[in-house]
A and B are shown apart, each in its own frame.
Chain A
Amino acid sequence: KAGVTQTPRYLIKTRGQQVTLSCSPISGHRSVSWYQQTPGQGLQFLFEYFSETQRNKGNFPGRFSGRQFSNSRSEMNVSTLELGDSALYLCASSLTGSDTQYFGPGTRLTVL
């Protein structure tokens, strides 16, 4: 089976812009979670989607949003980018959301 894929792998934006990141889960997996990874903070949970519904979200401002499509692919959007949004954004998929998560390679976002 193909693993979790994320596009793009690298992105450079300027403050105030918005960005959309994409995640394709392992075939058959219906749960997709998103994380922000920074050197000092580790992996911070953003949100989780299952069958196009957000079931939980972390403590991030409303500028961070996401959605999931009927084929389980997911996107996350960050509006009005700030310098502090520079990070590696990881998505992870699992069958149900309560089982093993498999991570994608991440999207490295740099905000200038």
Chain B
Amino acid sequence: GENVEQHPSTLSVQEGDSAVIKCTYSDSASNYFPWYKQELGKRPQLIIDIRSNVGEKKDQRIAVTLNKTAKHFSLHITETQPEDSAVYFCAASKAGTYKYIFGTGTRLKVLA
């Protein structure tokens, strides 16, 4: 069935370093890949997304890359700051299904 695997489950980095979170999806027809950030006790918030017709997208310190052949996509955060500490979720969706499959999340800790 449909599945999204997310790694690592926890990630600790020093402030100013980069962080990379990787997701692998099973359904090759998936065409939309959002990333959400969830701070403790808060709702998930979209931070960046990418569609299958694009290989990379960047927004300031955040970027997402997509490799359709390998069926994986990654979130890159550069120059990490303490406020980047949160749980990050990737998701994949296929056109016409109206269903998002989420990864199990990565807890990112940025150490000051």
Binding site for B on A (CB under 8 A): 4, 31, 33, 35, 40-45, 48, 50, 55-56, 58, 90, 97-98, 100-106
Bound-state CA distance A15–B100 (Å) is 30
**Which residues from chain A contact B100 at a C-beta distance below 8 Å?**
33, 45, 101
- The segment from B43-51, B52-60, B67-75, B77-85 that touches chain A is B43-51
Identify the closest chain A residue to B6 (Cβ).
A42
Q: How far is the CA of A48 from the CA of B45 in the complex (A)?
A: 19
Q: Give residues 29-50 of B contacting A (CB, 8 Å).
A: 32, 34, 36, 42-46, 49
Given contacts A98-B32, A100-B34, contact A42 B105 (CB under 8 A): yes
Q: List 19 A-B contacts (CB under 8 A).
A: A31-B98, A33-B99, A40-B104, A42-B6, A42-B105, A44-B102, A45-B99, A48-B99, A50-B98, A58-B99, A90-B44, A98-B32, A98-B93, A98-B98, A101-B100, A102-B46, A103-B43, A104-B43, A105-B43
Q: On chain B, which size bracket covers the interface?
A: 20 to 34
Contact string, B1-37, partner A, CB cutoff 8 A, digits 1/0? 0000010000000000000000000000000101010
Query: How far is it, in angstroms, between the C-alpha of A56 and the C-alpha of B95 when the chains are bound?
Result: 12
Q: A56-B98, A100-B34 are in contact. Are A42 and B89 (CB under 8 A)?
A: yes
Nearest A residue (CB) for B87: A42
With CB as the reference atom, state the residue of chain B lying closest to A58.
B99
Taking the closest CB of chain B, its distance from the CB of A106, in whole angstroms, is 6
User: Could you tell me if A90 and B99 are in contact, using CB atoms closer than 8 angstroms?
Assistant: no
Interface of A is mostly: strand
Chain B's closest residue to A54 (CB) is B98
Distance in angstroms from A6 CB to nearest chain B CB is: 9
